[in-house]
Chain A
Amino acid sequence: MIFKTLGKTGLQVSIVGYGASPLGNEFGPADVAEGVRAVHAAIDQGINYFDVSPYYGRTLAETRLGEALVGYRHKIILATKAGRYGSILPDGFDFSAERITRSVDASLQRLQTDYIDLFQVHDIEFGHQQQIIEETLPAMFRLKEAGKVRLVGITGYPLHMLRDVAQAVDVDTILSYCRYDLLDTTLDDVLTPLAQQQGIGLINASPLHMRALTDKGAPDWHPAPRRVVAAAEQAAAYCRQRGVDLADLAMQFALQHPYVAVTLVGMSKVAHVERNIHSVGVEPDPEVLAGVQAILAPVKDICWQEGRPENYEPGAVEKRS
């Protein structure tokens, strides 16, 4: 494993982070015992960063991760979130100070611990920017003072909103997804300079672009326009002909980022852990990478609408599904 400093927090985090959403059956039923083995294998292999949310599996992922971490909690950095509890507005979201404060206690209980290393506002684009800045984050900072959480961060998809909130509030970390990978590198246009300048820890999730960058291809529910998914399929075929798996190339590409500290990947099986570890310290084959980048160039940096319309990123396209 390779370790990086998470911004000015000074934490040494493994560059591959364990995404626990699959433990909550987010992508089909996960075998419970295998999930526990996957968590332990990850720790054995040097992964020290675990990411979860009460939203994943509607609290199931937190419960299962908590069970798997019994006896291991002190060895790892545990990150969870609050504010998102369902898929659809308005019921799935509550960014009020009162809910955030209740949420941490429930998460602590499910995760069987007495502190959260990183507590994040989950998907801020589903909230009102003013509330996030003036109510949600101040509530989180009070939890930091109370010792229930050590660090406070924000997560979401639209980069402009993440940047605006980080400019208004001194957050420890920012997490975004599908914004630094073979299909989209706009993270570096919008967020990375600010994060570097302010020492904000940067977390990149979904380096496979929500499975578009895999040999199997994107699932039906993928939000990107059809032409993006089609180009990714073409890239997968190109890789296959060269004996390379697009997913490995995509992972290797994401892990090369000079500033991003942790890249999060969902894992619920030991085989997932081993596969991802395999890409650590491996540079992508330059020829295959150039070929894939040429195929993906016409559809690169296409982002979609996510959250409340007022928070849509400029230029975002309508979701496919």
Chain B
Amino acid sequence: MKIDAHQHFWHYRSEEFGWISDAMAALKRDFLPNDLAPLLQATEMDGSVVVQARQTLEETEWLLQLADQYPLIKGVVGWVDLRHPRVEAQLERFHAHPKFVGVRHIVHDEPDDQFMLRAEFIRGLRALGRFDLTYDILIFPRHLPVAHEIVRMFPNQPFVLDHIAKPLIKDGVIAPWDDGLRQLAAFPNVSCKLSGMVTEANWHGWKPADFRPYLDIVLEAFGPNRLMIGSDWPVCTVAGAYAEVVGIVFDYVRTLSADEQAAILGGNAQSFYQLMEG
């Protein structure tokens, strides 16, 4: 099974999507499963994991409803307020849903760079373990040391790093991102998504070769069994069409063994998120 491990859906409302600037005008519309279906089909993908974008419980509820209606959605990474003293009640509300597989918080937009180290947040992460849920780490390279401290504290919690931590591909910056990434990859309970890269590249004029140095480092650090392809659609469309974007990873893994390719293009996401076939 080939799985796009990272994409979003939304009904566009300007007040809920402050981060979509005028430069991203193409994103100022609805993106729904019927828009994604032909893109998956054209690239022979069997399904996707949809990830939260708005940080409301209503959105999580809505994504799970979509997952009920559309078999192409294999898993939902939702949002609950991990800082909330009664986060357990929020998790209780969703956890019975078979497609609720994980939680994400938009950490890289928090003003405090040490946000993840706050006691309330850590308490929330601890609650995830009791509900057998994964956590998606959304950070910039400067947050890598903080992520390192977090994963050290939770050796049994499955984590996945989103978008290879968003290095400045546009400017070809590698250090100190590579160090931080390797240190994070040293923890066996951390996986990484090969996603979101075009958004960090030159939107108009990137070449597949721009990503190679980054992909080499990520592959070396995590190995082929902890990486998963993700499109970050529709955000990726500011810099390329769906097929072009996933094509970067398709082309990159071509030199790997068949098993390794299958793992990166779907198997790893399936086992990480414990996705069901249907």
Contacts and interface: CB of A to CB of B under 8 A. Distances in A.
B114 interface: yes
Interface string B127-154: 0000000000000000000000100111
Contacts of B149: 1, 46
B112 interface: yes
B112 A12 contact: yes
A28 B193 CA distance: 53
Interface stretch (B5-13, B20-28, B116-124, B173-181): B116-124
B153 A4 contact: no
Q: Which among A1, A4, A46, A281 has the highest number of chain B CB atoms within 10 Å?
A: A281
Interface residues of A, number: 11
Q: Which among B114, B117, B154 has the highest number of chain A CB atoms within 10 Å?
A: B117
A282 B122 CA distance: 11
Contact of B153 (A3, A5, A12, A280): A280
A102 to B, nearest CB: 37
A2 B112 CA distance: 13
Interface in B224-252: none
Interface string A247-286: 0000000000000000000000000000000001110000
* Interface of B, helix, strand, loop or mixed by DSSP: helix
Nearest to A45: B149
Interface residues of B, number: 10
Given A280-B153, A281-B153, A12 B118 contact: yes
Contacts of B112: 12
A281 B125 CA distance: 11
A15 interface: yes
Nearest to B126: A283
A80 to B, nearest CB: 25
Nearest to B122: A2
Nearest to B153: A281
Contacts of A3: 114, 117-119
A1 B119 CA distance: 10
Nearest to B149: A1
A201 to B, nearest CB: 13
A282 B126 CA distance: 11
Contacts of B114: 3, 12
Contacts of A4: 118-119
Interface of A: 1-5, 12, 15, 46, 280-282
Interface of B: 112, 114, 117-119, 122, 149, 152-154
22 contacts: A1-B117, A1-B149, A2-B117, A2-B118, A2-B122, A2-B153, A3-B114, A3-B117, A3-B118, A3-B119, A12-B112, A12-B114, A12-B118, A15-B119, A46-B117, A46-B149, A280-B153, A281-B122, A281-B152, A281-B153, A281-B154, A282-B153
